Amino acid sequence: MSARSRKKTEASSASAATGPRRAKPPQRATASSRIYSELRSELVSMRRRPGEVISEAEIALSYGVSRTPVREAVLKLSDEGLLDVFPQSGIFVSRIPLAALPEAIIIRKALEETTARLAAERATASQVLQLRSIVERQREADEAGDRVAFHQADELFHATIADVAGHPGIWRLILQVKVHVDRYRQLTLPVTGRMTQVIAEHEPILAAIEAHDPKRAGIAMERHLDRLLRDISETQHTNPEFFASTE
């Protein structure tokens, strides 16, 4: 076999071993995904307020991209109910749909009562310590008045319970259901004493999990999430401009 033939054969073998090279994803898709993720975070955290105008041109300029990936992100967020797109008027941050909140909270409550019960059955000592450290992180955020850090720790507490329960996918499902609930919750955290109250509600959940008492853990979780239902009317009354009309 000639040297040229041998090199060709070796090259073919290497190609077969590694398989065909995958094409890099289009740059537009990458930009669209990034814009979607970051804009969604701004909407859910209420950094962009309901009723605020969204400019595709400004977003495109800030990211250094064309308006096409921005439009793709906007349409996806519109499908989730976070943006209202009116062809003749513009794009606006959607108001919180008041009628959708009770159902979303009830779904979340049913799922998280289950994860709390299962976590109480299965929690190890190290997992209990992990949950306790998260509550301590919340306490530090409360003392510092850091609502962003508090909310992040709150999310981690509930996600960790689902993980301890052995069903992290339940939390991923809850994330899809509670998008507008999260926006509503952002309006409750500034209320004096609210963050302290959340910690007080988390502590019996943690205590029941540590005691391996599924029934008590489920009841404590249910009581904790019931407050979200009770606070809807007062929060709407305090911030009526952020909620969609129920008429």
Q: What is the pLDDT of residue 246?
A: 56
Q: What digits encode the pLDDT tens for the residues 209-242?
A: 999 999 999 999 999 999 999 999 999 999 999 9
Looking at 43, 69, 94, which one is the last position of a domain?
Answer: 94
- Cβ-contact 242, 49 below 8 angstroms: yes
Tell me, yes or no, whether 38 and 122 share the same domain: no
Q: Which residues contact 168 (CB under 8 A, 6 or more apart)?
A: 159, 162
Q: Are residues 186 and 208 in the same domain?
A: yes
Is residue 31's pLDDT more than 70? yes
Number of domains in the chain: 2
CATH code of the domain covering residue 121? 1.20.120.530
User: Quick check: pTM over 0.75?
Assistant: yes
State pLDDT tens for residues 145-163.
999 999 999 999 999 999 9
Asked whether the predicted pLDDT for residue 247 surpasses 80, the reply is: no
Q: Which domain does 74 fall in, by range?
A: 25-94
Burial of 241 from C-beta contacts in 10 A (0-12 / 13-18 / 19+): exposed
Task: Identify whether residues 75 and 128 lie together within a single domain.
Answer: no
Q: Name the average pLDDT for the chain.
A: 89
Provide the pLDDT for residue 27: 59
Residue 160: the pLDDT is 98
Given a contact cutoff of 8 angstroms between Cβ atoms, the answer to whether 138 and 146 are in contact is no
Work out the percent of the chain whose per-residue pLDDT is above 70: 87
Report yes or no on 2 lying in a domain.
no
Cα–Cα distance measured from residue 32 to residue 27, given in angstroms and rounded to the nearest whole number: 9
Statement to judge: residues 230 and 182 lie in one domain: yes
CATH of the domain at 75: 1.10.10.10
